[in-house]
Amino acid sequence: MAPTLNLKEPAGNQSSWETLLPDFPKGPLCKYRKKASFNWKEMAVLLDGEDIIQLKNRIFSALESDPLFAHRPGEDLCREKYQELTFLRCKRLFEYDFLTPQEIVENPLKMFNMVICIGMYDWSPCLQYFLHCGVFAGTILSASKRFADFVKQVYSMEIFGCFALTELSHGTNTKGIRTTATFDRNTQEFIINTPDFEAAKFWVGNMGKHATHAVVYAQLYTPDGQCQGLHSFIVQIRDTKTLLPVPGVMVGDIGKKLGQNGLDNGFATFHNVRIPKENILNIAGDVTAEGKYSSSIKDVKERFSAALGSLSTGRILITALSTTNLKLALSIAIRFSAARRQFGPTDDEEIPVLEYQTQQWRLLPYLAAAYALDYFSKSLFENFVEFYAGLLTKQRSQRQADLGREIHALSAASKPLSSWTAQQAAQECREACGGHGYLAMNRLGEIRNDNDPNCTYEGDNNVLLQQTSSYLMSWMNCIKDKAPFESPFGTINVLQDYHHILGWKFTAISVEDCMDSSVPLAAYKWLVCYLLRESDLKLSKEKQSGRSDFEAKNNCQVYYCRSLAIAFIEQTVLQRYHAYTHDPNIPSTLQPVLKNLSALYGLWSLSKHLAVLYQGGYASGEQAGRFIQDAILELCYRLKDDAVALVDVFAPPDFILNSPIGKASGELYKNMWAEILQGSKALNRPSWWAEFCINKPVIGRLRSRL
């Protein structure tokens, strides 16, 4: 079975919730808060637990009280100033030291939540901090104990790190990386070299301005001229006392991006830069003093996967970051929709736009997705903690290898699902807030632009889905032979009943039948098995027609393997959330609304696959599709009165959310008007006023006389 996170009993009594979670200010949103079917504070304590809520409050309060984190309404920072401010804020996070190493070991979810809390304020300092302390330091930690002193310098900020994998001409295709590391046995050094400008390290976060050291991925060459594949090395790129490049390194900033411009993404080239032999991160293999290559991992593919193991960390984090962006956008759009009144049954009565079916249908399925993906991202993180513990203790068991494969397959699909969902939701939320959503001050544009790279970095979404589908296709031999199989987290166990499930049909006979997530879950199980069968058949046909493995696989992506990977991850998310929401230990006061969210997420996601359900014979006749559509609309209607309370559960304080139309009071127009008038130049005449008032154009002066 898929793992279920430990249920957090809403500890303490209502008075302790009041201390942890103060009431919201009175205002236009009170009407909806009173109509909610559940206590939002009880829900918050259930989902996070008091410990995590206290941590969040501590972080949010620290940022709001610190002048360095103050917002400046109406002020546009130039990119260099924004990068400086980002670095100062990152540095301040070290001074706060919100969590001790002991606290992280005792409850790794605290670290997960700390990153998210800082990101809710601004992703630039959050990512700068995480790339240094998480990705850079984590990669080194998983290599060898000999780097323990080096890691201390990371956490004391004596050095500043980055993760240098991608190059100007190679991103997702990491096997094509062309930076080289050649071992010189005479000096016991590796020589790091960039063969040409296309092999320059590129897009590396923290490298543009600040990083002093990099984990550099390069093709390892032994003295016999043999390439041993991709390995990682610690390379100093700047002097720690001057921040000037070290000899042989050219390093710089790649320029302005569409978003996250506080984060300095950079490039670097290496001209025969020598580093000590000990600087190889011997995760996948090592070189002896005589120049002989050795690795405890004999399989070349497994060795490559081990070298890039830290990418799963990034993908799991991006799953959570994207889900957080989804929550931020929904907090703004749903509060706006509940307070904004337009039109009505009579000319004298305007109603909140949330009362309109179209607005509910546009926003509330994304709200259900936010709850389902939030639960999934936390459970996936806990799965990863189990895997990482085995990595640190150098376990080489079959279970450890299976954990790695399953984590890889899950994170390679959860990143696309969450980042695309957040990206589509941010745009929908922007449009759902009308013209006010287009104002930068209301932050929806920033959320959308800052989420955008989540669809690309740590692996292009469409390419990553191929890794998940390949994992699923690898089980076909076991399925055909009817051999027993399972995976550590149980995500592929549904395939054990593959032959039986393919005979299933849609059995609901009313809309009410569809109102539980067991209905879309059953449909998803069939969908995954059907798409797996069709993908396998398609691949076989392509090969039988004489196409190479490469061509055959390429011709099986659209409508086959890609759809398979998406259906699989949606089914996995729904499976876990269904199990959680139907757990008998969930308080009876919260279970109805959670079950509605689970059903809505399942049906809404499934509705995008209706054509395949009919095509494959799972559904027939017009009733099945209509039941699903009507159930979606009915669930949106049932959740409408709970929507504000549901975003209250995860919305950060007003200072962190930083959106006048998303403030907890719901006073849209007062908040916007105040923000506009705070702008330093809102009422100023333009500096170019004389170009209108004095220097009038001479009409036709520049017309051609020919």
Residues 600-634: pLDDT tens digits?
999 999 999 999 999 999 999 999 999 999 999 99
**C-alpha dihedral (422, 425, 429, 432), degrees to nearest 10:** 180
Mean pLDDT of the chain: 92
* Residue listed under structure tokens 């609309």: 633
Cβ pair 85, 124 in contact under 8 A: no
Token pair of 544 as six digits: 């039988």
85 touches 223 (CB < 8 A): no
Asked whether residue 247 carries a pLDDT value surpassing 70, the answer given is yes
Q: Which residues have CB under 8 Å from 360's CB, separation 6+?
A: 354, 633, 636, 637, 639, 640
Mean pLDDT of 160-165: 95
Taking only the tens place, the pLDDT of each residue in 197-214 is 999 999 999 999 999 999
Q: What is the DSSP letter of 496?
A: G
pLDDT at 394: 74
Rg over alpha carbons for the chain, rounded to the nearest Å, is 27
CA 565/CA 571 separation, integer angstroms: 10
Task: Report the predicted TM-score, pTM, of the whole model to 2 decimal places.
Answer: 0.94
What pLDDT was estimated at residue 312?
Answer: 79
Q: For residue range 299-338, what is the model confidence (pLDDT) as tens digits?
A: 666 656 665 666 778 899 999 999 999 999 999 999 999 9
Distances (CA, A) of 322 to 13, 42, 162, 163, 524: 33, 25, 22, 21, 23
- Is residue 20 exposed (0-12), middle (13-18) or buried (19+ Cβ within 10 Å)? middle
Alpha-carbon gap, residue 647 to 608, rounded angstroms: 25
Q: Are 144 and 281 within 8 A, CB to CB? A: yes
Residue pair 199/156 in contact (Cβ under 8 Å)? The answer is no
Q: Can you tell me which residue has the tokens 């003295």? A: 223
Q: Label residue 466 exposed, middle or buried (CB < 10 Å: 0-12, 13-18, 19+).
A: buried
Q: In angstroms, rounded to a whole number, what is the distance separating the alpha carbons of residues 21 and 201?
A: 46
Residue 458 appears among annotated catalytic residues: yes
Q: What residues pair up with 293 in beta bridges, in sequence order?
A: 287
What SS3 class is residue 525? Answer: helix
What distance lies between CA 69 and its chain's CA centroid?
24
Rounded-to-integer distance, Cα 573 and Cα 578, Å:
8
State how beta strands 286-287 and 265-270 pair. unpaired
Strand ranges (E), 20-171: 161-164
- CA distance linking residue 459 with residue 454, whole number of Å: 9
Answer yes or no: are the C-beta atoms of 569 and 531 closer than 8 Å: no
Entry field: residues in the chain: 706
Give how far the C-alpha of residue 705 lies from the chain's centroid of Cα atoms, to the nearest Å: 60
The angle at the Cα of 124, spanning 118 to 129, to the nearest 5 degrees, equals 65
* Amino acid at site 414: S
- Given a cut of 90, whether residue 285 has pLDDT beyond it is no
Q: Is the pLDDT of residue 2 over 60?
A: no
CA atoms within 13 A on the CB side of 682: 12
Q: How far is CA 480 from the centre of its chain?
A: 35
- Name the burial class of residue 108, with classes exposed (0-12), middle (13-18) and buried (19+) by CB atoms within 10 angstroms of its CB: middle
**Of 129-143, 266-280, 329-343, where does mean pLDDT reach its minimum?**
129-143
Q: CB–CB of 433/332 below 8 Å?
A: yes
- Three-class SS state of 221: strand
What tokens were used for 317? 């984090």
The predicted structure's pLDDT at residue 507: 94
Cα angle 279, 280, 286; round to 5: 135
Query: Nearest to residue 422, comparing CAs of 310, 329, 542?
Result: 329
Determine the average pLDDT of the residues in 271-282.
94
Q: Sign (positive/negative) of CA torsion 281, 282, 284, 288?
A: positive
Active-site hit among 189, 458, 534, 634 = 458
- Find out whether 204 and 126 touch, Cβ atoms under 8 Å: no
The better pLDDT of the pair 483, 322 is held by 322
> How far lies 119's CA from each of 324, 513, 657, in Å?
8, 40, 10
Place 389 in a pLDDT band, splitting at 50, 70 and 90. Answer: confident
pLDDT band at 223 (very low <50, low <70, confident <90, very high): very high
pLDDT at residue 142 greater than cutoff 80: no
Above 90 in pLDDT, residue 4?
no
Q: Euclidean distance between the first and final Cα of the chain, in Å?
A: 82
The tens digit of pLDDT for each residue in 80-134 reads: 999 999 999 999 999 999 998 888 888 889 999 999 999 999 999 999 999 999 8
Tokens of 683: 């009422």
Give me the percent of the chain exceeding a pLDDT of 90. 80
Residues 439-456, mean pLDDT to the nearest whole number: 95
H-state helical runs in 40-99: 40-48, 50-65, 79-96
* Signed CA dihedral, 209, 214, 217, 218: sign only: positive
From the number of C-beta atoms within 10 Å of its C-beta (0-12, 13-18, 19+), residue 203 rates as buried
Query: Angle at CA 91, nearest 5°, toward 384 and 452?
Result: 55
The whole-number pLDDT of residue 1 equals 43
Mapped onto helix, strand or coil, the DSSP state of residue 549 is: helix
Helix ranges restricted to H, 511-662:
518-544, 549-554, 562-581, 591-607, 610-615, 621-640, 643-650, 654-657
Burial 303-327 (b: 16+ CB within 10 A, else e): bbbbbbbbbbbbbbbbbbbbbbbbb
- Contact between 206 and 263 (Cβ < 8 Å): yes
